[in-house]
Structure formats: structure tokens, C-alpha cells
Amino acid sequence: MRLFIALVFLASMLIVPQLAAADQVTTIDELAAMYNVESCADCHEDIHNEWKESWHSKSITDPRVLRTWRTFILRGLDKSDKAKRSDLRMCLNCHIPQIKDASDDLVVQIAGLVVTSVDDKNKAKREAAEKELSKLNINCLVCHKLKGAPDGNPKPGELYGPNGLDDEDSPHMEELGIKTVKSDIIKTADFCARCHNGCQGLPSSICSSVVTSYNEQYVAHGGEKTCQDCHMPQGEDTKSHKFPGIFDVDFAKTGVDLKIIANPTRYIYHLENRVVPAVAIKVDLTNIAGHEWPHG
């Protein structure tokens, strides 16, 4: 249902024309190279390994995403007179925001690879298409460059972090020639909302996302934790970048307060005139996550 509402809402945005920039790239390899994070892994190995395990690192190759996009392309975009395959850009805007630097032709190529990766009869072709797509994901530069700027407008040569580094002797300046600017937004729910709220401006009664329900049902009732407090717990040295959610059983358990009170009783089995031992169970289930669930 949530996806349906999102699709209808997003389809209504199809009429907004896309502005074409002059320097848009035309191949996946060029786009991947612009957002290459190998240098980050050299110094931030643990964070890189955690991120590799997160859904953010599979933001298009998650099988649920690939399959849904295949259906959206074949049944939505291809069947509509008003839509084109390049309109897949509206989904890519959040799942791989680096798409802003790609030409419409590249978006069409990506749409073709999505369909091949799910539907092609030849296994080798399906795997090859998925491998190509896996070069693009929500990586360090998407969060710390594209989405992390305080005013939402990233500047060339800047990275955004929770504290900022002194550029005079920062390893980023020395090794990569980039400034590291403090961004207050990156520690707040508004940062996650830049992608996790497909319901901008709508109340959760009409369109519900983790962000609308966080604001209306958690913060409005005195909840004080940020998304980061729960989803990026402090690790040995740094904040975890695994971003556990509903599929991490141990983490999901932290979202419920479950009390089960069991009292022994007896019950008369009337067909056989027999007394049978039984248990009366009372279950108290309280949601203590920062939003409604399950949601995924």
C-alpha cells in the first residue's frame, strides 16, 4: 500500500521537466569513477566494512528493489503514453542520488540493465547486468558530500561531517585536497528525511513514512532520540555504519517491549467430561521504536 501511494504520488511528478546539465556523463563506469570511495576505505576500513553490510551499499541491487523496478518499468513506464524509461530517474534520485550527473541516455541504459538482471533467460547475462548495477549505490560520498551539506547545496571540494576537521592539517586536505566542513544537519532526522521521506509535506494519515510517523507519533509525544541514536550506535571507535533495520532480528527486538504473563488454570473438556490443565496468557505488546512498524 505504501509503495502504491508512493508510486501514484511520484507519477504525478512526471510532468516536472528535468533540467539537462551540460557535463552529464554517459556510462556507468564514468559515474562510478566520479563517486569512487576506494580512497576512503584506505583510512576508514572499519566503517567501510560496516557500510558494505548495510542496505545502503545495495540500494539498487537489493532483489526487492530490482524486481519492483522491473515491474514499474515494464508495466508503468513502457505502457504509459506520457512516460519514458528515462523517467526512472525519479526513483534513482533517492536510491542513487549521483544520477544527477548522468545523462538521460544513461538512465535508459540503467533501466535496460534492471530488466535484464531480473528477466533475462540467460543466467550469465542476468549476473553480468547486476554486477554492472552494483557499481552504483549510496556510498560515503552520497551521504558526506551530496546529501550532507547544511543548506542542501554541496560545494565542489567539500566533505560534510558531524564535527568538521581543521583544514590546516587535516588528512583529507593533505591526501585528497578536500575541505571537511561541520554540518549540523548530518546528526539530525532531517538528514535521513532527505531520502527516507517520500511523503514530503503530507501527514501520515494520507502518506506514511518512517519520518512522518517519527515526527507525529514519537517526537510529538516526547521521544528524544534521533534516527542516528538508534540506527548508528557508538561502536568501539566510531558510529556504526551498518544501519540495521527490520531484517536484523536482534535490532528489531529492541523495537518492542513484550510482556507475557502466563497463569496456570484448568479447563473442562465437555465432550469427554474431563479436566484438562491449561494456561491463560496475557500479552502486552508496546512499540518502543521511534516510528510505526513493521514498515519495510
Write out the binding residues for ligand HEC, residues 5-34 only, by CB under 6 A.
7, 10
Give the binding range for ligand HEC (CB under 6 A) out of 26-34, 77-85, 243-251, 265-273: 243-251
Contact (Cβ atoms closer than 8 angstroms) between residue 132 and residue 110: no
Position 4 contacts ligand HEC (CB under 6 A): no
Min dist CB 255 to ligand HEC, Å, is: 3
Min dist CB 21 to ligand HEC, Å, is: 19
How far apart, in whole angstroms, are the C-alpha atoms of residue 99 and residue 104?
A: 9
Give the binding range for ligand HEC (CB under 6 A) out of 20-28, 125-133, 241-249, 277-285: 241-249
Determine which residue in the list 134, 194, 216, 217 makes contact with ligand HEC, applying CB under 6 A. Answer: 194
Contact (Cβ atoms closer than 8 angstroms) between residue 275 and residue 268: yes
How far apart, in whole angstroms, are the C-alpha atoms of residue 171 and residue 237?
A: 18
How far apart, in whole angstroms, are the C-alpha atoms of residue 151 and residue 149?
A: 6
Position 211 contacts ligand HEC (CB under 6 A): yes
Min dist CB 126 to ligand HEC, Å, is: 18
Position 239 contacts ligand HEC (CB under 6 A): yes
Min dist CB 4 to ligand HEC, Å, is: 10
Residue 150: Cβ within 10 Å count:
14
Contact (Cβ atoms closer than 8 angstroms) between residue 145 and residue 93: no
Q: Which residue has the cell 536482534?
A: 250
Nearest CA to 4 out of 76, 70, 61, 56 is that of 76
Chain positions 80 to 119 lying near ligand HEC, rule: CB under 6 A, are 90-91, 93-95, 97
Q: Which residue has the cell 576512503?
A: 40
Min dist CB 82 to ligand HEC, Å, is: 15
Nearest CA to 246 out of 55, 50, 10 is that of 55
Min dist CB 279 to ligand HEC, Å, is: 28
Based on CB atoms, which residue is closest to ligand HEC, 278 or 288?
288
Min dist CB 266 to ligand HEC, Å, is: 38
Chain positions 23 to 82 lying near ligand HEC, rule: CB under 6 A, are 37, 39-40, 42-44, 47-48, 51, 55-56, 58-59, 62, 64-65, 68-69, 72
Q: Which residue has the cell 501520515?
A: 204
What one-letter code names the amino acid at 202?
L
Chain positions 128 to 187 lying near ligand HEC, rule: CB under 6 A, are 138-144, 147, 159, 161-165, 171-172, 175-176, 180, 182, 186-187
Determine which residue in the list 108, 109, 134, 255 makes contact with ligand HEC, applying CB under 6 A. Answer: 255
Q: Which residue has the cell 494520507?
A: 206
Looking at beta carbons, which pairs linking 52-58 to residues 24 or more positions away fall under 8 Å?
53/242, 54/241, 54/242, 54/243, 55/243, 55/245, 55/247, 56/137, 56/138, 56/139, 56/143, 56/243, 57/137, 57/138, 57/139, 58/134, 58/137
Q: What's CA 79's distance to the chain center, in Å?
A: 28
Based on CB atoms, which residue is closest to ligand HEC, 28 or 172?
172
How far apart, in whole angstroms, are the C-alpha atoms of residue 187 and residue 48?
A: 19
Min dist CB 93 to ligand HEC, Å, is: 5
